[in-house]
Each structure stands twice: as structure tokens, then as C-alpha cells.
């Protein structure tokens, strides 16, 4: 088995509206994910993060449709598989998903134990019911959950417990890729921290081979992610290691995004927060040129004229801007006095 | 005023004590009545069931507490209903004696003779006594199992009710069951399949459930009965048939039954389909559906989750409409001149026939209360969320 768990090539997926218009929410996304790594995907609301995470599951239902591209999971293109194979051998087994609203992710009228059995029976595990429940118990105790969770209905668990139960359930079969779509957005800061640590621990102990972590809370990514992709209007605009993207963003959008974070550090009070004026473009008719152009401080006429492609730097970093990284850094440096 | 204030005081302790005293009083009264030797078999049976339920409830820690509370509440409600059953008919303007003597009085020109005759009737019927005295007589008789005599029809109320209820049940029970089942299936199907199914089923159901039921019944009567002549338009059977054992009689029963049954069933289907569709649509979009699908659970199973959950409110709807069965048939029976309890109630009200009205409404109140009590119990058994709420409430 190669060390690349997931390889995505030029993935395009779209929503079809009532009026039969296609809205490309994920428009040509490519990336690779290696064993033991965590990829963070950041971006503002509506940039296509959640759609991307759903699209990666290879399972589409209206109004979301698959456009083109490939998703290689352990070397197999899951988009070429018949649905039954995908469902039985991949979904929940090799690629798992933690939904955004874990609060409602469990059937309220089914005990957790019965749900566990439901899931495991679908995947030809060859386990009998007792073994299935033992497996579930192991997962639960790994996440510091008591055995009694198995006999509970979702309504009888607290928010944090429910969240951890969902994590336990989605990792029952030690998936190669775990996609977590803002798994902590509904939790308070300390519960968030617990969840993050759990996820990291799962990765360390190979309960999960790799992870994609989607969030709009950038400070969170700094602690979790190895790589960060910044997404804007359906495209990746920057790719790099977590440190690089957070402390030294190249793309003007990433730069602006990092400038809008509140970090409880010294000197923060005197630091003025920047915000990004304007709104992302309507993906129904994407304007020609750079998608961020309208909101960019450094816009030039050329930005509107031609579509931007990803530039790859020697160290593997990527960004989508017509300026060179040196030119951008210069502009950022000049801007600082005006900002302070 | 002071007593009211004490009862309404927010202190949970005081409220609780008041509730216990009230229920103890009620239960005491019931037991005294039951043991006094006058109570009828039916009352003793009902009381025995209640007492058994209360005793059994002590075996179940949380649910039992909830159950007891429910039983006390419903017993209290029953007594209030009883008082209203007695009082409300007597608030109808008019006097039963005037109606009974209508024809006779029309022929009497001497006004003092007319008054004497009227007073004699009033005294005979006990209507000259104070309303409180009448009430005690009514309840006393009731617990002996006597519902009194119909003033207008001069027959025992119990006998009239016994002869009318089967007609109402014959229309309503099958139409509620069939309509409920068909309506839920259609609603679920429309929500799940969407597209053309939904575009047909939804508007039709909306039409059926929003058109006033009596108008719809009249249209059915007009088209299927009068214009096309498929069904007889009036009564419960052909009055010209003398032998009630013949096949002809049963055929006549069936053909008279069909039209009201069809109308009522369609109305029930409409309402249920609308409710089920929106519940199912809601459930289909809840996150657990997505999560379950992405965990690789097959569609058929996820659909089963969804419909089980969407069913829950519909179950209580079923129980409620079964409880309202006897009362709900009134309009249908009037439109189709069907000889059921509803039509009888209507006639009784027209004739200001106190005992008969009270008798009809008593049957309606009891079925309603029993149905509600059963929903309260059953619902907790099928929905764990309600069970939790019950435990907290109890």
C-alpha cells in the first residue's frame, strides 16, 4: 500500500438549481493526502468547504452532482465504482465522515447499540453481534466514553458525549481517511479542545490513517493540521504547511483571512483587526479573471482579464495569484504602517 | 377568591398537596359509590381497572409515577365533563315540555288549562326541582347505570345509544383505519419519491383536507348518489325490506354504508397524507439520514428509520381520531341521513331532550378521555424522547 491515502485530481462538483442552472461549488480541486497527515481546509462560509467534504465521499445525491475529476482512495478511483461497491466497501469503512451538526447525526429513536450493529452488518465484517458490540466498546472507551452509552438513546447523551459518540461510530472500522466537517463548531472551547485531542490521538494510534479537517476557525487548524488549504469560491487559492499558511500567507485572500483572526495574545489589543470587504462572487456565473479580484486590495486590470492558475513553488507551496511571492510580500510589508 | 389564590400559588409543595387532596377525594367518592351496592357493573369494572392500574404503577418507578398522575388527571377531567354534560343541555334556550306538548297545546285555547298541563309535565319530569337537586339525581342514577328516559322518544337513553352507536362505529372505524393507513402510505410515498407523485398526491390531499367535510360529502352525495345513481342517498338500509335476516337486507346495508364510508375515508386520507408528507420531508432532511447514508447503511434501512420517526405523531393522530370517532361522525351522518349517534344527538338537541343529549355527550367524553389516556401511555412506549420527558414530568 502506498503512503498516499487520498489523491484528488481536478474535482468538479456542482449543484443543480430548480432552474437547471449548474453552480460549481467545487471547481477544479486537486490535492494529495499522505498517511498520518492532517489536511486542514479553511475558508469563509459558502466557499465550498462542506460541499468539498461531501464530494470526497464519492456519494452524490440531488441537488449535488458529480462533474469531472477523480478521487483515488488507496489507489482506487471511487468515482468509477458502482454504488453498491462504494457503499459496502468504502463508505464508513475506508472513508468516514463526521457531519457538521453532530447533535442531530444520530437517529433519536434507536439505541446506540442497535445503530452500531446496523452499521457493521453493512460492511461484511464477519463479526457476530457480540464482537460488534465489543468493538464499539473499545472505541467508546478510547474516547473516554462509558459503556452505558451503548444502551442509551441519543437524547440521553450530553452534547459533548454525542459528539464523541459520533466520532466513535464513524471510526468503528479504522478508516483510511476521516473527513471532519467542523466537528467542533457547536461545542464550547474546552470541549473543542478535548475533541481535537481525541482526533489527534486516534491518528497517532492509527485508528485513523489520515484526516481532512474542515473549519472556519483558523486558530484551531494551527494545532491540528499538517497542511492547510485555503479555499475561496470553489477553488483552492493557497496550499502549504500549517505554519507557512498561518504565519506567512502568500495569497492576498489568505493574508486578509489571517489578518481577521483574534488571537488572545499580548499586543492583540493594539493590533487592529482587518476584515475583507465585499462578498464572494456568485458561482452561478463566475466572472472572468481572478475570483478574488473584486475584493482584493492589490487589484490590477490584468487580474480581471485572465483566469489564475496555481503557481507551485520549489518547496511545494502553491498559490493562485498573478504576482510573484516576492512582490506580494513587498506589498504586505508596505501595508503594515497603514494598518497599525 | 382566597381558595383560588391558594391553589394558584406557585409553591410546588402547595400545588402538590392540593392535587393529592383532590384526587384522594375523588377516589374516595368513587370507592364509596362502588361499595354502596347501587353502582352498576360497568362502573365497578371501570373502577377496578383504574385501581388495578394505580396499584400496578407502583411496580414501575418512573413511568408508574407518570401513569398515576395521568390517571388522576383524567379522573378529575371526567367529573368536570360529567358536570358539563349535565349543565350544557340545560342552557339551551327552550323547554322540553313545550316541544313535547307542541301539538297538544296548539289545540287548547284555554290558557289556564294549558299552563296546568305544562306544570303537570314539568313536575313529572322533575324539572321543577332546583338545578343542584337535578344534578345529584342525575349523577346518582348515572352511577347506578341508569341514563334516564328520553323525554321526546319516551325510551330508555341506554337503549337508544346501544342501537345507534354500532351505526356510527360501522362508518367511522373502518374509514379511520383504512384512511389512516392509505393516507400515511401515500404521504410517505409522495415525500420519498417526489416528482410526479408529489405533484399529484399533494394537491389532491390538500384539497380533500381543506374543503369543509360536509361540503365534500354533499358533493359526493350529489355526484355519486343523485347524478350517477350509483349509491342510495338516504338512511342506513332500505326501509321497505321487512326481513332483517335476508341477503337482500345485508346488500342494502352495504350499499347504504358505502357512500358515507367512501366520503369519510377520502377526507381522512387527505388529512393524513398531508401530515405524513410534511413529517417525512422534515425527517428526510435531518442530519442522521446523511450520516447513516455516509456510514454505508443501505437506503432501505435509512428509509425505515425515517418513516418510523415520521410515523410517531401520526400514531397519536390515529388514537385521537379513534377517540373522536363517535363525535366525528355527526356531520357525515347528517348529510347522508345515516341513523348513527351523531344524527341522534342532533335530533336530541333540536328537541331539547336533556337526558338523551347528556347520554350522547357522555359516550363522547368517555371515548375521548380513554383514547387520550391510551395515547399518553402508548406514546411513551414507542418514542424514547417522550419517555424521557415523562420521567421528568412524573
Asked whether the predicted pLDDT for residue A288 surpasses 50, the reply is yes
pLDDT of residue A212: 92
pLDDT of residue B7: 41
pLDDT of residue B146: 82
CA atoms within 13 A on the CB side of A184: 22
A97 touches chain B (CB under 8 A): yes
pLDDT of residue A339: 44
Given an 8 Å threshold on Cβ–Cβ distance, is B295 in contact with A91? Answer: yes
A109 touches chain B (CB under 8 A): yes
pLDDT of residue A1: 44
Q: Which residues of B touch A170 (CB under 8 A)?
A: 291, 295
Domain boundaries, chain A: 4-94+175-339
Mutate to test the interface with A, among B291, B311, B381 (most CBs of A within 10 A): B291
Read off the pLDDT of each residue in A242-271 and give the average, rounded to a whole number: 77
Nearest to A109 among B290, B296, B308 (CB): B308
Asked whether the predicted pLDDT for residue A337 surpasses 60, the reply is no
B-proximal residues of A, 1-60, CB under 8 Å: 57, 59
Asked whether the predicted pLDDT for residue A79 surpasses 90, the reply is no
Q: Chain B residue closest to A106 (CA)?
A: B288
> CA distances (Å), A293 to each of A37, A277, A289, in order?
32, 12, 7
Q: Which residues of A touch B291 (CB under 8 A)?
A: 97, 99, 105-106, 166, 170
C-alpha cell at B391: 420521567
CA-based nearest distance B305→chain A, Å = 7
pLDDT of residue A125: 80
Read off the pLDDT of each residue in A215-244 and give the average, rounded to a whole number: 86
3-state secondary structure B199-247: HHHHHHHHHHHHCCHHHHHHHHHHHHHHHCCCCCCCCCCCCCCCCCCCH
Asked whether the predicted pLDDT for residue A274 surpasses 90, the reply is no
Q: Chain A residue closest to B384 (CA)?
A: A109
3-state secondary structure chain B: CHHHHHHHCCCHHHHHHHHHHHHHHHHHHHHHHHHCCCCCHHHHHHHHHHHHHHHHHCCCHHHHHHHHHHHHHHHHHHHHHHHHHHHHHHCCCCCHHHHHCHHHHHHCCCHHHHHHHHHHHHHHCCCCCCHHHHHHHHHHHHHCCCCCECCCCCCEHHHHHHHHHHHHHHHHHHHHHHHHHHHHHHHHHHHHHCHHHHHHHHHHHHHHHHCCHHHHHHHHHHHHHHHCCCCCCCCCCCCCCCCCCCHHHHHHHHHHHHHHHHHHHHHHHHHHHHHHHHHHHHHHCCHHHHHHHHCCCCHHHHHHHHHHHHHHHHHHHHHHHHHCHHHHCHHHHHHCCCCCHHHHHHHHHHCCCHHHHHHHHHHHHHHHHHHHHHHHHHHHHHCHHHHHHHHHHC
pLDDT of residue B178: 95
Residue ranges of chain B with pLDDT lower than 70?
A: 1-16, 19, 23, 26, 30, 33-39, 393-394
Mutate to test the interface with A, among B62, B192, B195, B288 (most CBs of A within 10 A): B288
Given an 8 Å threshold on Cβ–Cβ distance, is A108 in contact with B384? Answer: yes
Please tell me the CATH code under which domain A4-94+175-339 is placed: 3.40.50.300
Given an 8 Å threshold on Cβ–Cβ distance, is A57 in contact with B308? Answer: no
Mutate to test the interface with A, among B192, B294, B314, B381 (most CBs of A within 10 A): B294
pLDDT of residue A211: 92
Q: Chain A residue closest to B381 (CA)?
A: A109
Q: Which residues of B touch A105 (CB under 8 A)?
A: 287-288, 290-291
Asked whether the predicted pLDDT for residue A11 surpasses 80, the reply is yes
Q: CATH 1.10.3720.10: which residues of chain B?
A: 158-350
Residue B239: count of CB within 10 angstroms of its CB: 9
Given an 8 Å threshold on Cβ–Cβ distance, is B312 in contact with A155? Answer: no
Fold held by B158-350:
MetI-like fold (1.10.3720)
C-alpha cell at A52: 468539498
Q: Which residues of A touch B312 (CB under 8 A)?
A: 109
Q: Which residues of B touch A169 (CB under 8 A)?
A: 295
A91 touches chain B (CB under 8 A): yes
Amino acid at each position: 500500500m502506498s503512503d498516499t491515502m487520498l489523491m484528488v485530481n481536478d474535482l468538479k462538483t456542482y449543484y443543480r438549481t430548480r432552474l437547471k442552472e449548474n453552480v460549481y461549488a467545487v471547481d477544479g480541486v486537486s490535492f494529495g493526502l499522505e498517511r498520518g497527515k492532517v489536511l486542514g481546509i479553511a475558508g469563509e462560509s459558502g466557499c465550498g468547504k462542506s460541499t468539498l467534504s461531501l464530494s470526497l465521499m464519492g456519494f452524490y445525491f440531488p441537488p449535488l452532482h458529480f462533474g469531472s475529476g477523480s478521487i483515488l482512495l488507496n489507489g482506487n478511483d471511487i468515482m468509477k465504482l458502482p454504488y453498491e461497491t462504494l457503499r459496502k466497501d468504502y463508505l464508513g469503512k475506508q472513508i468516514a465522515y463526521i457531519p457538521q451538526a453532530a447533535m442531530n447525526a444520530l437517529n433519536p429513536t434507536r439505541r446506540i447499540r442497535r445503530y452500531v450493529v446496523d452499521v457493521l452488518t453493512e460492511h461484511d465484517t464477519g463479526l457476530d453481534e457480540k464482537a460488534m458490540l465489543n468493538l464499539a466498546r473499545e472505541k467508546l472507551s478510547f474516547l473516554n466514553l462509558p459503556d452505558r452509552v451503548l444502551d442509551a438513546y441519543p437524547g440521553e447523551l450530553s452534547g459533548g458525549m454525542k459528539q464523541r459518540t459520533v466520532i466513535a461510530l464513524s471510526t468503528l472500522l479504522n478508516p483510511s481517511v476521516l473527513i471532519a466537517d467542523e466537528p467542533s463548531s457547536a461545542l464550547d472551547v474546552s470541549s473543542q479542545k478535548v475533541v481535537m485531542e481525541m482526533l489527534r490521538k486516534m491518528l497517532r494510534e492509527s485508528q485513523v490513517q489520515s484526516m481532512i479537517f474542515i473549519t472556519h476557525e483558523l486558530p484551531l487548524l494551527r494545532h491540528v493540521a499538517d497542511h492547510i488549504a485555503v479555499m475561496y469560491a470553489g477553488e483552492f487559492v493557497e496550499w502549504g504547511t500549517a505554519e507557512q499558511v498561518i504565519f506567512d500567507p502568500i495569497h492576498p485572500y489568505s493574508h486578509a483571512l489571517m489578518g481577521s483572526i483574534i488571537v488572545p495574545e499580548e499586543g492583540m489589543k493594539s493590533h487592529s483587526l482587518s476584515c475583507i470587504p465585499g462578498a464572494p462572487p456568485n458561482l452561478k456565473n463566475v466572472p472572468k479573471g481572478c475570483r478574488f479580484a473584486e475584493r482584493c486590495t492589490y487589484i490590477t486590470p490584468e487580474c480581471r482579464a485572465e483566469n489564475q492558475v496555481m503557481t507551485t513553488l520549489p518547496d511545494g507551496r502553491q498559490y493562485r495569484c498573478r504576482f510573484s511571492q516576492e512582490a506580494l510580500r513587498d506589498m504586505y510589508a508596505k501595508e503594515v504602517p497603514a494598518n497599525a | 377568591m382566597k381558595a383560588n389564590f391558594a391553589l394558584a400559588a406557585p409553591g410546588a409543595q402547595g400545588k402538590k398537596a392540593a392535587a393529592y387532596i383532590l384526587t384522594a377525594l375523588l377516589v374516595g367518592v368513587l370507592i364509596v359509590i362502588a361499595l354502596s351496592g347501587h353502582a352498576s357493573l360497568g362502573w365497578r369494572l371501570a373502577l377496578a381497572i383504574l385501581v388495578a392500574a394505580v396499584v400496578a404503577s407502583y411496580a414501575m418507578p418512573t413511568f408508574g409515577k407518570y401513569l398515576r398522575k395521568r390517571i388522576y388527571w383524567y379522573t378529575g377531567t371526567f367529573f368536570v365533563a360529567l358536570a358539563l354534560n349535565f349543565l350544557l343541555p340545560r342552557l339551551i334556550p327552550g323547554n322540553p315540555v313545550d316541544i313535547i306538548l307542541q301539538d297538544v297545546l296548539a289545540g287548547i285555547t284555554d290558557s289556564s288549562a294549558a299552563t296546568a298541563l305544562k306544570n303537570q309535565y314539568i313536575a313529572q319530569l322533575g324539572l321543577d326541582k332546583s338545578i343542584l337537586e337535578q344534578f345529584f339525581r342525575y349523577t346518582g342514577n348515572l352511577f347506578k347505570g341508569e341514563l334516564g328516559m328520553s323525554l321526546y322518544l319516551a325510551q330508555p337513553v341506554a337503549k337508544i345509544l346501544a342501537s345507534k352507536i354500532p351505526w356510527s362505529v360501522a362508518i367511522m372505524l373502518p374509514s379511520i383505519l383504512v384512511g389512516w393507513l392509505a393516507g400515511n402510505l401515500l404521504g410517505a410515498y409522495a415525500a420519498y419519491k417526489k416528482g410526479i407523485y408529489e405533484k399529484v398526491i399533494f394537491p389532491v390531499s390538500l384539497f380533500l383536507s381543506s374543503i369543509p367535510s360536509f361540503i365534500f360529502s354533499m358533493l359526493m352525495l350529489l355526484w355519486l348518489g343523485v347524478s350517477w345513481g350509483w349509491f342510495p342517498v338516504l338512511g342506513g338500509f332500505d326501509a321497505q325490506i321487512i326481513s332483517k335476516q335476508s341477503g337482500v337486507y345485508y346488500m342494502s346495508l352495504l350499499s347504504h354504508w358505502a357512500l358515507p364510508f367512501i366520503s369519510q375515508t377520502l377526507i381522512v386520507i387527505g388529512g393524513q397524507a398531508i401530515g405524513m408528507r410534511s413529517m417525512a420531508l422534515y425527517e428526510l432532511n435531518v442530519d442522521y439520514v446523511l450520516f447513516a447514508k455516509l456510514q454505508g447503511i443501505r437506503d432501505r434501512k435509512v428509509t425505515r428509520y425515517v418513516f418510523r420517526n415520521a410515523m410517531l405523531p401520526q400514531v397519536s393522530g390515529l388514537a385521537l381520531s379513534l377517540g373522536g370517532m363517535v363525535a366525528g361522525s355527526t356531520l357525515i351522518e347528517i348529510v347522508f341521513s345515516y341513523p348513527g349517534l351523531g344524527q341522534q344527538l342532533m335530533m336530541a338537541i333540536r328537541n331539547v331532550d336533556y337526558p338523551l343529549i347528556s347520554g350522547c355527550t357522555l359516550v363522547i367524553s368517555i371515548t375521548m378521555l380513554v383514547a387520550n389516556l391510551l395515547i399518553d401511555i402508548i406514546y411513551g412506549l414507542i418514542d424514547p424522547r417522550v419517555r424521557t420527558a415523562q420521567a421528568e414530568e412524573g
